[in-house]
Structure 1
Amino acid sequence: MERLLKLAEKEHIEIIWSQELSPTTPPIAAYNLRCIIMNSNWYNPNQFIFQLAHELSHLIYGDPLDLYLYNQTPAQKFKIEAQTNDYAIQIILHLYNESPYNRINIVSFMQEYAIPTHLESRVRFLINTL
């Protein structure tokens, strides 16, 4: 988590941890404000690292037009979220693991960082392309 917070600081992104949200309210990134609101009451705290990497990815790699496109169609939202998940996985790989990446146990890696299981094929692909 410390490395992600340092990355946020380097990128001039403010992280706010709210204790006032319900356990099912996901975090959110505000592109124009360069700010992320994380839910410290989230029902699964093991997901904090992946969530923060995901929200950082929206702000670091996202396009200002994403906000407009995100709400246009489900296909646009899916495309933006899929790309953001890829960036989040790459951030975690670069910050938390040493090469060679092909030696990473994918199941253990995904469990350690609470990466959703539906992203397993993307994790495999990204590890093999690094």
Structure 2
Amino acid sequence: MNHEDILAELERYACRHGIKVRWASKLNPHTPPVVSVHFRTIVMNSNWEDKNEYPLQLAHEITHIEDGDPDNLILPYSNVAQMDYGVEYKANRGAIDMLLPYYTETFLDLSELNAVEFMQQFSIPSHLEGYVTSKVNRIIGDYIKEENANY
């Protein structure tokens, strides 16, 4: 599934959960997306400099709303801000959990999953490598256990 398909799926998911997603086209390429948990609205920047980040950004903002994070604690999406604030790190974990199924569905043999490849595909910042690696290793381990149980 390509990024446009994944974005469409995430937008449908948001809509089913009462979350509005708006795309702003007149923003600077460095203006990050923002979320209002109270109004259940996400504003994405259609001019963002790295289009590969869109799925991560949208899933991240959806997670803020689903978690009911307070509006006054939420920072705009940025790689630096996400390293330092627990609420941002938690939203990143939720985003990764939301994106992993899109990555894993392309594999017939889940033992071939690669955390670095997943991170590159979705432009996931390097400070999240530990979390991604643990999630991918868990998926691989569960797959291997299931395969061994079938023999």
Match of 1:7 in 2: 13
Aligned to 1:23, the other structure's residue is in SS state coil
Contact 2:38 2:71 (C-alpha < 8 Å) held by counterparts: no
Match of 2:71 in 1: 67
Which range is displaced more, 113-122 or 95-104?
A: 95-104
Please give the alpha-carbon distance, in whole angstroms, between the structure 1 residues aligned to 2:92 and 2:61. 9
Structure 1 residue aligned with 2:89? 82
Percentage of matched positions with identical amino acids: 36
Rounded to whole Å, the distance in 1 between the matches of 2:24 and 2:111 is 37
2:132 paired residue number: 123
Using the TM superposition, give the Cα deviation of residue 102 of structure 1 relative to its aligned residue in structure 2, in angstroms.
5.4
- Deviation of 1:128 (Å): 3.4
Is the radius of gyration larger for structure 1 or structure 2? 2
| Cα distance, 1:102–1:123 mapped onto 2, change above 3 Å | farther
Q: Distance in 2 between the 1:70 and 1:50 partners?
A: 16
> 2:96 and 2:113 mapped to 1: Cα distance?
13
CA distance in 1, matches of 2:12, 2:100: 16
Q: 1:43 to 1:4 in 2, by over 3 A?
A: same
Alignment match of 1:43 (pick from 38, 49, 66): 49
CA distance in 1, matches of 2:42, 2:73: 19
1:70 offset after TM fit, Å? 4.8
> SS of 1:37's equivalent?
strand
- Unaligned residue ranges in structure 2 (runs of 5+): 1-6, 76-80, 140-151
Which letter does structure 1 place at the counterpart of 2:94? Answer: Y
Alignment length, in residue pairs? 124
Partner of 1:111: 120
1:31 partner amino acid: V
TM-score, normalised relative to structure 2: 0.72
* TM-score, structure 1 as length reference: 0.83
Deviation digits for residues 82-115 of structure 1, max 9, x if unmatched? Answer: 1110000000013442387654211111111111
Whole-Å separation in 2 of the counterparts to 1:129 and 1:103: 13
For structure 1, which runs of at least 5 residues remain unmatched after alignment?
Answer: none
Task: Report if the CA contact (8 A) 1:110-1:116 is conserved.
Answer: yes
Cα distance change, pair 57–19 in 1 and its aligned pair in 2 (3 A): same
